Amino acid sequence: MTNTEQDFEKKVLETLRSLGFQITGYYPYDSRSEIIGFIKPAPPLTTPVKTLATVIKGDLTVNKIESLHKIANDSNISKCIIFSPNNNTEISDESRMSISKYNMDLLTRDKIESITCTDTFDSGFSALEVISPTHLIDSLPDFATQKIPMNIVKLIGNDIPAWKIFEQAVYAAFKDGLGYHTRQLGNKTLFEKQPEGIAIRESALPKDRYGVVYECKSSSSKYLMTAQDELSYIEYINEKKSELNNIHKVDLKYFIIVSPDFSGDTELRRDNIFKKTNVLLVYMKASTLKLLTCWTQKISDNQIRLQVDLNEIFSINQDVVQDSKVLEYMKTFDSKFKSRY
């Protein structure tokens, strides 16, 4: 792909984001790039529309349009948008007739350049919103070790550091994977140290509701908690404990650190923090969080997904959550609820 083509695709992705488009698949080919996802409908409609957005490389021909129509039909796609690097006056009458015949939308280079987007890729987290939660969660272990997979680089470029994408991926794991009410903190707060976020498990029964505070620690190998880290954690655990109780009427039960792996005396640090906060510190590998939340995403019924209970996975006798414990829980849960989703 030439630099000109890369710049055009970047502008297309920026435009799609301004239209409320959420990407679920990105497939670059020699003659085009296919971007599959969902676009928000105009109010009062609320159901997202499955859409194929295609970035054409070279001239837009009738054969290319016919091919896109077949792809859309075969994939049960409701809407097709063509992005052409040509200006509007350069589109042939035959191509216009074919586009009209198949009820497609066409955005040419001059039209795209005239669109004013409220957020651009230079604004950090806005660029990450073009990545679907599924893609973020699937790449959790890579982001945790400060690596960015090539399929993500093609979507957002190389300007955003891996640790920032890692924070967004963990947020997606709690919000979209587990279905928790989740709020980001660390990246949104200036001039003060905060954990990366808080998440609340909602339930019809007040006794089954609880809150967690999570912290993201990317590393090329393992995260080692220092004495200063421990003091900082104790301080903001107690602060968030009070906030959750007073505002959300829920108890803060777990402080979860997500990292590629852990070293040092994890048990001692956990015990020290528990004594000062009465909140259980949980060490969770990014790969384990991926294992858990890739599974929960497959639970189509949100009410059943909210039945997933971290209380059954976390244990005071186990500082680092083991994959075997998660797999055992998944098996038990599926045997109870599988027939319902």
- The answer to whether 230 and 257 are in contact (CB under 8 A) is no
**Whole-number percent of the chain with pLDDT over 90:** 51
Q: Tell me the pLDDT of the chain averaged across its residues.
A: 86
pTM of the model: 0.68
Cα(68)–Cα(56) distance, rounded to whole angstroms? Answer: 10
pLDDT in tens, 240-253: 898 888 888 899 99
The strand order across the sheet containing 280-285 reads 181-184, 197-201, 210-216, 252-259, 280-285
Domain range 3-118, its CATH number among 3.40.1170.60, 3.40.1340.10, 3.20.20.100, 3.30.70.890: 3.40.1340.10
**Nearest-5° Cα angle at 299, 294 to 301:** 150
pLDDT in tens, 166-187: 999 999 999 989 999 888 876 5
Q: What is the DSSP letter of 107?
A: E
Cα(250)–Cα(103) distance, rounded to whole angstroms? Answer: 51
Q: Which of 151, 154, 129 is nearest to 142 (CA)?
A: 151
Q: For the chain, which ranges sit under pLDDT 70?
A: 1, 115-130, 186-194, 204, 341
Q: Which of 15, 2, 13 is nearest to 113 (CA)?
A: 15
* pLDDT value for 280: 96
Residues of the chain with CATH 3.40.1340.10: 3-118
CATH 3.40.50.300 fits 173-340, yes or no: no
Residue written as token pair 């790039």: 33
How close are the terminal C-alpha atoms of the chain, in Å? 42
Residues in contact with 194: Cβ distance below 8 Å, sequence separation at least 6, in sequence order: 185, 186, 236
Residues of the chain with CATH 3.40.91.30: 173-340
* pLDDT value for 125: 38
